[in-house]
Amino acid sequence: MRDRQRIGTVIQGSLLEGLTAKLEPSASVESMRVGNFVVIEGQKKQFFSLITDVALGATNEQVLLDPPAGADDFANAVLAGTSTFGTVKIAPMLMLDAEPSLEDQGLRPVKTVPSHFSPVYEADEDDFLRVFQEDTVSGVERVGKKKFFEIGKPLNMEVPVCMDLERFVERSNGIFGKSGTGKSFLARLMLSGIIKSRAAVNLVFDMHSEYGWETQSEETGHFVKGLRQLFGPQVLSYTLDPESARNRNVQPDGVVVIGLNQIQVEDVALLQEELNLTSTAVESSYLLVDRYRDRWLQQLLNMDAETLRDFARESGAHPEAMAALKRKLDMIGRLGFVKEHVDDSVIDEIVRSIESGRHVILEFGQYNNPREYILVANIITRRIHDLYRQKTERYQQTKKPEDRPRQLMITIEEAHKFLNPVAARQTIFGTIAREMRKYFVTLLVIDQRPSGIDTEVLSQIGTKITALLNDEKDIEAVFTGVGGGGRLKALLAALDPRQQALVLGYAVPMPVEVRTRTYDEAFYRAMGHRERDEQRREAEKARTELFGE
């Protein structure tokens, strides 16, 4: 048996409620931290577990009623471990046969509990590597047919905690945390790993222009590179606001415009809360569609008061509801990126880029109001989802590998605006979240209010990367659909506000708290950025030697 530090002994517990271990006299209760990784050595199995609570106990209540006076270290030492002791609550996560055999199934979910008085050990680096892949390094590594990415390190060790990227992109995922906890940097880490590994192609709706080009770090105040700078032409940058791009000395790969003819009633329904529209007003839109088809919004915005009354009388619409609909939707016609009629050339270009395996980031510039963000994201995603549905049906028909659609992951911020209980049932994002990998399209949702997301959608999210949350409803929401999630709430509440996260779900073997990787020069090199710089310098040097200065 390895020389690990024994910290306690299992004294009671159950599979559903977790275990209780009494601490050894030599193990300081103050060194026990919620979230620490421990290993229980049962008679037949090892149990890889997490500490979920720390408590104080006593064998004699009289000791507590008459504690040693003052700072009596000798009396405290005499009582420690006998009359007074510490305990920890432990949640077993994975188990492994203690003795290798032909029937050994490797690491698997816990189905039983260790026997009384099983020793509890502090996990060491070998334990971490056994659970979180010992064949990975700081970049993205292929192990067999799998791709792993280091998201960070355990809070008390210097070993990598790696995620299975292919499992990650197979399902929709969430990055949560209150404002200022670094959700955008966590998203950028994961997107970098996916781009580097080619696990999926990405479409990022960049509400605050944080992903494509350099932006300022909240933690250090320094400017850090965007994905377009890190990965060059593998990543394409589009914008709704070319003026904002020019002001930042950024050259986008294209400018997106939206036509009134491209906006459907479903897009307007999604803005019902933002525009304070009544359900009657939204339903009136279908009367316009019946008469004018894809010109319904253009016709509505061009109607004067008399024409509007005539239409309401002829169609049976409520006149006041129609007037309110026109008044609220006027803001759409005034947006700088909206034109009366637009063909699909730019959106087609984005789709072709995604089909070819290039990643697309759409910046919103000054149009970062939730109304504009929701409208554009829904229009473009609906178009792409229809295309992927067609491609998937073709692949199912031909069964040819070359017809298999590329895995696509769509990143959205302010996810509760798209996926609240009402919107999730009528938006394309709710459809994608429920369908999961059926059509090779998944979501990466970023939000500071997970409690605002529909519970059915939350239960379908495969992997959750969660920074600090304080609101009890948000903490409760993160563990929706997670077996034994109630025992893990204390881990989330104990996180530091910066550069710490709880990772749990489909892409990791068990929940784990990590110090997330720093998005710095070392990370750039791990993603291959310096390699490209060196290649460029070598090419320039070769050119100089060949042709002179």
- For residues 320 and 468, membership in a common domain is answered with no
Amino acid in the structure at residue 296: W
144 pLDDT higher than 50: no
Assigned domain for 433 exists:
yes
Which whole number is the average pLDDT over 21-37? 90
Assigned domain for 537 exists:
no
Host domain of residue 266: 260-338
Contacts of 26 (CB under 8 A, 6+ apart): none
First-last CA distance in the chain: 66
Contacts of 69 (CB under 8 A, 6+ apart): none
Please give the structure tokens belonging to residue 365: 């510039």
Contact 154, 125 (CB under 8 A): no
Contact 462, 437 (CB under 8 A): no
Contact 433, 424 (CB under 8 A): yes
Report the distance separating Cα 165 and Cα 186, nearest Å.
14
The count of other CB atoms within 10 Å of the CB of residue 433 is 27
pLDDT the model gives residue 546? 47
Contact 507, 462 (CB under 8 A): yes
- For residues 327 and 350, membership in a common domain is answered with no
| Count of the separate structural domains present in the chain | 3
- Tell me which of 72-76, 226-230, 383-387 is least confident: 72-76
pLDDT the model gives residue 142? 47
Assigned domain for 138 exists:
no
- For residues 331 and 365, membership in a common domain is answered with no
Q: Is 236 helix (H, G, I), strand (E, B) or coil?
A: strand
159 pLDDT higher than 80: yes
Q: Whose structure tokens read 């008679």?
A: 43
pLDDT the model gives residue 175? 96
- For residues 360 and 425, membership in a common domain is answered with yes
E strand map for 113-264: 119-122, 140-143, 146-154, 161-164, 173-176, 201-206, 215-216, 223-224, 235-239, 254-255, 258-259
Report the distance separating Cα 312 and Cα 482, nearest Å.
50
What residue spans of 148-206 are helical by DSSP H? 165-170, 183-197
Assigned domain for 141 exists:
no
Report which of residues 217 and 450 the model is more confident about.
450
E strand map for 4-107: 6-14, 18-23, 37-41, 45-58, 84-97
- Judged on CB neighbours under 10 Å (0-12, 13-18, 19+), 391 is middle
The radius of gyration of the chain's CA atoms, rounded to the nearest angstrom, is: 28
380 pLDDT higher than 50: yes
Contact 25, 80 (CB under 8 A): yes
- For residues 311 and 364, membership in a common domain is answered with no
pLDDT the model gives residue 174? 95
- For residues 184 and 269, membership in a common domain is answered with no
Contact 519, 188 (CB under 8 A): yes
pLDDT tens digit sequence for 274-323: 888 888 888 889 999 999 998 999 999 999 999 999 999 998 888 888 99
- For residues 108 and 54, membership in a common domain is answered with yes
Eight-class DSSP state of 391: H
- For residues 354 and 223, membership in a common domain is answered with yes
Assigned domain for 144 exists:
no
pLDDT the model gives residue 194? 95
> What's the chain's average pLDDT?
85
Vertex 408: Cα angle to 394 and 531 (nearest 5): 125
- For residues 365 and 475, membership in a common domain is answered with yes
Q: Is 108 helix (H, G, I), strand (E, B) or coil?
A: strand
- Tell me which of 45-54, 92-101, 138-147, 516-525 is least confident: 138-147
Which whole number is the average pLDDT over 170-197? 92
**Last residue of one domain, picked from the residues 291, 315, 338:** 338
Assigned domain for 365 exists:
yes
> What is the bridge-based pairing of β-strands 408-413 and 441-447?
parallel
Q: What is the pTM of this model?
A: 0.85
Q: Is 54 helix (H, G, I), strand (E, B) or coil?
A: strand
- For residues 247 and 292, membership in a common domain is answered with no
Query: Half-sphere exposure (CA, 13 Å, Cβ side) for 147?
Result: 17
- Tell me which of 67-76, 203-212, 323-332, 406-415 is least confident: 67-76
pLDDT tens digit sequence for 425-475: 767 888 888 876 788 999 999 999 999 999 888 888 999 999 999 888 999
